[in-house]
Chains A and B, each alone.
Chain A
Amino acid sequence: QESESENKLDGETASDSESKSEFGGSPPVPTSDDTPEVLNRALSNLSSRWKNWWVRGILTLAMITFFFIIIYLGPMVLMTIVMCVQIKCFHEIITIGYNVYHSYDLPWFRTLSWYFLLCVNYFFYGETVTDYFFTLVQREEPLRILSKYHRFISFALYLTGFCMFVLSLVKKHYRLQFYMFGWTHVTLLIVVTQSHLIIHNLFEGMIWFIVPISCVICNDIMAYMFGFFFGRTPLIKLSPKKTWEGFIGGFFATVLFGLLLSYVMSGYRCFTCPVEFNNDTNSFTVDCEPSELFQLQEYNIPLVLQSVVGWKTVRMYPFQIHSIALSTFASLIGPFGGFFASGFKRAFKIKDFANTIPGHGGIMDRFDCQYLMATFVNVYIASFIRGPNPSKLIQQFLTLRPDQQLHIFNTLKAHLVDKGMLGTLEDA
């Protein structure tokens, strides 16, 4: 049993020996071997250590290939995939809750959890979809009403679930029911909001979706490799297999990878243009005049690097500078998402979130580092890249009262005169 534990090469999960000794009274979550038979047979000759390596390697390649395929298929498919991943993650975390509290038979609770997931998704999708599909929504009468009173309808749906929860409270089970209620809400907060931020990023331009996710994956792999070859100083007690050498090596490798990937992707419109819904063809289009971020510019290399690199200037996309910020976050703060998940698994004495992917664990195990990345990218875009949408502002303006409209108009006029954009008050 001990030698088996050393073969586990996944640095993110608690070490086998520790978790097995801590199982104590609570029954461990069953860990059946999900590896497909064909792989089992092909690798039956190798020792278990190399077999594990091969299984992980093959599945990694399979996941990356799958990633490329869905990118090729376009934004709609990507959105659907994000939705499926979100549902699976939610399911995994809720199932852990049931196992922790042995509450699988609690009255109503499975139904209520899924109902709340539906409500929150309806709310978020309604808010996003209304913005992007504005003209489509305005045309169809039922959609228009749903969109106009969207918040009220979402709130009413949520309230129904809340009242059902209160009515379902059963004597002697109160504590458990409140725990599951809290567990559901925290899970929704983590899983559903992140997935919607990812979709917002996606609609900004596929590059804002692909580069962050790839940086996190690259950091995972690079930190592991650097740790494997050079690792000596442990990083944090939570994950004993992480090392400082892996951390720092992974950081530099990821920044470099981000720069290169951004360079390649910035050349293609299908990655850099915001996703728009074309009302005439009723499909998504990614076609536009690339913004300044994606136009090559000449940069002067700082003197320090000139001697190293040998060039005086370099042609780069401004987006590559932003990619440095994204990769830095992915390497320095992203791992905290992984540590959080490790701590969670140790707290609830589980080895993996689930057994969906052979050799890797559950979907959550793959996505724990992505957790913070999506929020960061979204906040980054909102703060430094995109400003508010002028046409949307004009739409909102038209719904105001005349006196409010006049007030805003006059303030804007004074502001523009101040800036010298308008000649004089009389000319305007």
Chain B
Amino acid sequence: EVDLDERLVELDLRNDSDIPDIPPATDSTPEILKRALSGLSARWKNWWIRGILTLAMISGFFLIIYLGSFMLMLLVLSIQVKCYHEIITIGYRVYHSYDLPWFRSLSWYFLLCVNYFFYGETVADYFATFVQRREQLQFLIRYHRFISFALYLTGFCIFVLSLVKKHYRLQFYMFAWTHVTLLITVTQSHLVIQNLFEGMIWFLVPISSVICNDITAYIFGFFFGRTPLIKLSPKKTWEGFIGGFFSTVLFGFIFSYFLAQYQYFVCPVEYNSETNRFVTECEPSELFQMKKYFVPPLLQAVLGWETVNMYPFQMHSIALSTFASLIGPFGGFFASGFKRAFKIKDFADTIPGHGGIMDRFDCQYLMATFVHVYITSFIRGPNPSKLLKQLLILQPEQQLSVYKALKSHLIGKGVL
């Protein structure tokens, strides 16, 4: 019986160059594309495949947006599961641990637990009225944290019971790998969904800014690139970085202007219990009402206008695009370093010409958290439905005293 732990003890101490490469993944380009492009040289063929798939992804994106918030939520969930699967599979390949007892089941179990916890915390708030009506759901909501914790503990105990002699180190590695992956993929995806519920514009503008930065940095690099940016990614250049930054800010600015006009994108997503559907209808907040801004004297000479009509949101979009261009790429460098550390070319082969889903989403990694933190810090106050939920849990006497306090406040303000 092979002592895997002994092997790992030696491997862990070795230099990167001594670690054997993971066998390259197979080419999953569909046959039809291959035949259509068989005439072209390899370089152009690659360009075309990438181009076609890019257009396919963008069209898919527009289609899902059209279908509404619920479909978007499902899409985010599917992407999260796929990213998780890709990273875990890399772990298996790195450690040759595909046959480890229980481990595949345990990884999926932990994914389920953490998703259950997060969905219970966030989504339940939005479906408050739906939940109030059903008794069983009320119980699940009330003791949600306890139930989630009990589920997680079960997984933890099963892990401890599954520890096998000579495989300890391997099992601990996979345990840690699973948890770090959960931390990265699952928390990000839930923050994305929370941003989405704040208003589709908070979902669309950041993601598009990152994609735009990717594309424009590449184009600027292609035409003007000369000074390398970082040793990790030798193809990135300073010209591409700076050009991408300015283009992305401009793009974000213009894109926000278009989206801010439609209630569909601007209003928080709410669940209508009568029609049992998601609705996005509201009185647009001040962020999305045109205001007159004075153009600073510097720009007055350039532009020729004294004032300009803009949405306040466009100012925020500058912050979002700036983050997407300056810090977002660090997510990409992190993923590049990770791929070099574990000697893999792409995360997976899901998308021909592009690699895996993680390859497309590595720059989005930090963006979702930033947008969420930005919204909670600068835009929105506390969440009304969550507040309501907590009020309804209080003891009746406490509810009565809170009611009286609220009533006097509202009368004082003249709302009642």
Q: Which of A372-396 contact B (CB under 8 A)?
A: 372, 375-376, 379-380, 382-384, 387-388, 390, 393-394, 396
Query: Does A25 interact with chain B (Cβ within 8 Å)?
Result: yes
**Inter-subunit contact A238/B9 (CB<8 Å):** no
Say which residue of A102, A169, A186 sits within 8 Å of B337 (CB atoms). A169
Q: Which residues of B contact A405 (CB under 8 A)?
A: 406, 409-410, 415
Query: Does B390 interact with chain A (Cβ within 8 Å)?
Result: yes
Query: Does B262 interact with chain A (Cβ within 8 Å)?
Result: no
**Inter-subunit contact B396/A421 (CB<8 Å):** yes
**Inter-subunit contact B333/A26 (CB<8 Å):** no
* Binary B-proximity of A13-30 (CB < 8 A = 1, otherwise 0): 000000000001110000
**Inter-subunit contact A393/B376 (CB<8 Å):** no
Distance (whole angstroms) from the CB of B38 to the closest CB of chain A:
38
**Inter-subunit contact A183/B176 (CB<8 Å):** yes
Binds A, one of B10-18, B58-66, B240-248: B10-18
Q: How far is the CA of A333 from the CA of B171 in the complex (A)?
A: 20
With A175-B19, A186-B179, A347-B5 known as contacts, the answer to whether A388 contacts B172 (CB < 8 A) is: no
For chain A, what secondary structure do more than half of its interface residues adopt (helix, strand, loop), or is it mixed? helix
Query: Does A415 interact with chain B (Cβ within 8 Å)?
Result: yes
**Inter-subunit contact B409/A400 (CB<8 Å):** no
Q: How far is the CA of A383 from the CA of B120 in the complex (A)?
A: 14
Distance (whole angstroms) from the CB of A240 to the closest CB of chain B:
11
Q: Which residue of A lies closest to B148 (CB)?
A: A379
Q: How far is the CA of A422 from the CA of B406 in the complex (A)?
A: 15
Q: Inter-chain contact count A-B, CB under 8 Å? A: 195
**Inter-subunit contact B406/A412 (CB<8 Å):** yes
Q: Which residue of B lies closest to A236 (CB)?
A: B161
Query: Does A125 interact with chain B (Cβ within 8 Å)?
Result: no
Distance (whole angstroms) from the CB of B6 to the closest CB of chain A:
6
Query: Does B153 interact with chain A (Cβ within 8 Å)?
Result: yes
Q: Which residues of B contact A399 (CB under 8 A)?
A: 381-382
Query: Does A340 interact with chain B (Cβ within 8 Å)?
Result: yes
Q: Which residues of B contact A408 (CB under 8 A)?
A: 384, 387-388, 391, 406
Q: How far is the CA of A348 from the CA of B168 in the complex (A)?
A: 8
Query: Does B340 interact with chain A (Cβ within 8 Å)?
Result: yes
* Binary B-proximity of A390-420 (CB < 8 A = 1, otherwise 0): 1001101111111111111101110110010
**Inter-subunit contact A174/B402 (CB<8 Å):** no
**Inter-subunit contact B183/A185 (CB<8 Å):** yes
Q: How far is the CA of A216 from the CA of B185 in the complex (A)?
A: 34
Q: How far is the CA of A162 from the CA of B366 in the complex (A)?
A: 10
Binds A, one of B70-78, B102-110, B194-202, B367-375: B367-375
**Inter-subunit contact B9/A349 (CB<8 Å):** yes
Q: Which of A98-138 contact B (CB under 8 A)?
A: 100-102
Query: Does B292 interact with chain A (Cβ within 8 Å)?
Result: no
Q: Which residues of A contact B222 (CB under 8 A)?
A: none
Query: Does A68 interact with chain B (Cβ within 8 Å)?
Result: no
Distance (whole angstroms) from the CB of A97 to the closest CB of chain B:
10
Say which residue of B163, B342, B394, B415 sits within 8 Å of A402 (CB atoms). B415
Query: Does B165 interact with chain A (Cβ within 8 Å)?
Result: yes
Q: How far is the CA of A339 from the CA of B390 in the complex (A)?
A: 38
**Inter-subunit contact A25/B390 (CB<8 Å):** no
**Inter-subunit contact B176/A390 (CB<8 Å):** no
Q: Which residues of A contact B391 (CB under 8 A)?
A: 388, 393, 408, 412
**Inter-subunit contact B405/A347 (CB<8 Å):** no
**Inter-subunit contact A400/B163 (CB<8 Å):** no
Say which residue of A162, A343, A380, A394 sits within 8 Å of B406 (CB atoms). A394
With A375-B149, A405-B406 known as contacts, the answer to whether A102 contacts B19 (CB < 8 A) is: no
Q: Which of A125-176 contact B (CB under 8 A)?
A: 148-149, 151-152, 155, 159, 162-163, 165-167, 169, 171-176
Distance (whole angstroms) from the CB of B138 to the closest CB of chain A:
13
Query: Does B276 interact with chain A (Cβ within 8 Å)?
Result: no
Query: Does B377 interact with chain A (Cβ within 8 Å)?
Result: yes
Q: Which of A270-299 contact B (CB under 8 A)?
A: none
Query: Does B330 interact with chain A (Cβ within 8 Å)?
Result: yes
Q: Which residues of A contact B171 (CB under 8 A)?
A: 343, 347
Query: Does B156 interact with chain A (Cβ within 8 Å)?
Result: yes
For chain B, what secondary structure do more than half of its interface residues adopt (helix, strand, loop), or is it mixed? helix
Distance (whole angstroms) from the CB of A220 to the closest CB of chain B:
17
Query: Does A328 interact with chain B (Cβ within 8 Å)?
Result: no
**Inter-subunit contact A387/B176 (CB<8 Å):** no
Q: How far is the CA of A402 from the CA of B61 in the complex (A)?
A: 36
**Inter-subunit contact A382/B330 (CB<8 Å):** no
**Inter-subunit contact B402/A390 (CB<8 Å):** yes
With A166-B232, A408-B384 known as contacts, the answer to whether A380 contacts B415 (CB < 8 A) is: no
With A183-B176, A387-B393 known as contacts, the answer to whether A412 contacts B399 (CB < 8 A) is: yes
**Inter-subunit contact A393/B16 (CB<8 Å):** no
Q: Which residues of B contact A349 (CB under 8 A)?
A: 9
* Interface size in chain B (residues, C-beta < 8 A): 79
Q: How far is the CA of A25 from the CA of B392 in the complex (A)?
A: 62
Q: Which residue of B lies closest to A160 (CB)?
A: B327
Query: Does A268 interact with chain B (Cβ within 8 Å)?
Result: no
Q: Which of B273-331 contact A (CB under 8 A)?
A: 283, 327, 330
**Inter-subunit contact B410/A407 (CB<8 Å):** no
* Binary B-proximity of A161-205 (CB < 8 A = 1, otherwise 0): 011011101011111111100110110010000000000000000
Q: Which residues of B contact A390 (CB under 8 A)?
A: 394, 398, 401-402
**Inter-subunit contact B406/A159 (CB<8 Å):** no
Query: Does A237 interact with chain B (Cβ within 8 Å)?
Result: yes
Q: Which residue of B lies closest to A173 (CB)?
A: B16
Say which residue of B19, B172, B342, B409 sits within 8 Å of A344 (CB atoms). B172
* Binary A-proximity of B141-181 (CB < 8 A = 1, otherwise 0): 01101100100010011011101010011011000110110
Query: Does A252 interact with chain B (Cβ within 8 Å)?
Result: no
Distance (whole angstroms) from the CB of B336 to the closest CB of chain A:
9
Q: How far is the CA of A46 from the CA of B392 in the complex (A)?
A: 66
Q: Which residues of A contact B413 (CB under 8 A)?
A: 402
Query: Does B95 interact with chain A (Cβ within 8 Å)?
Result: no
Query: Does A346 interact with chain B (Cβ within 8 Å)?
Result: yes
With A24-B9, A382-B145 known as contacts, the answer to whether A336 contacts B402 (CB < 8 A) is: no
Distance (whole angstroms) from the CB of B243 to the closest CB of chain A:
21
**Inter-subunit contact B407/A172 (CB<8 Å):** no
Distance (whole angstroms) from the CB of A134 to the closest CB of chain B:
15
Distance (whole angstroms) from the CB of A69 to the closest CB of chain B:
33
Query: Does B403 interact with chain A (Cβ within 8 Å)?
Result: yes
**Inter-subunit contact B169/A178 (CB<8 Å):** no
Q: How far is the CA of A372 from the CA of B376 in the complex (A)?
A: 31
B residues engaging A (CB < 8 A)?
5-6, 9-10, 12-13, 15-17, 19, 142-143, 145-146, 149, 153, 156-157, 159-161, 163, 165, 168-169, 171-172, 176-177, 179-180, 183, 230-232, 283, 327, 330, 333-334, 337-338, 340-342, 366, 369-370, 373-374, 376-378, 381-382, 384, 387-388, 390-396, 398-403, 405-407, 409-410, 413, 415-416
Q: A393-B387, A401-B381 are in contact. List 19 more A-B contacts (CB 8 A).
A: A26-B13, A101-B13, A148-B377, A155-B369, A166-B232, A175-B19, A178-B338, A178-B342, A182-B180, A186-B176, A336-B160, A372-B153, A380-B146, A403-B283, A406-B416, A409-B410, A415-B392, A419-B396, A421-B396
A residues engaging B (CB < 8 A)?
24-26, 100-102, 148-149, 151-152, 155, 159, 162-163, 165-167, 169, 171-179, 182-183, 185-186, 189, 236-238, 333, 336, 339-340, 343-344, 346-349, 372, 375-376, 379-380, 382-384, 387-388, 390, 393-394, 396-409, 411-413, 415-416, 419, 421-422
Query: What are some 6 contacts across the A-B interface (CB < 8 A)?
Result: A155-B373, A347-B169, A376-B149, A383-B145, A393-B391, A407-B384
Q: Shortest 10 CB-CB distances between A and B: which pairs?
A: A174-B341, A347-B168, A347-B169, A383-B146, A152-B377, A388-B390, A175-B341, A399-B381, A396-B382, A404-B384
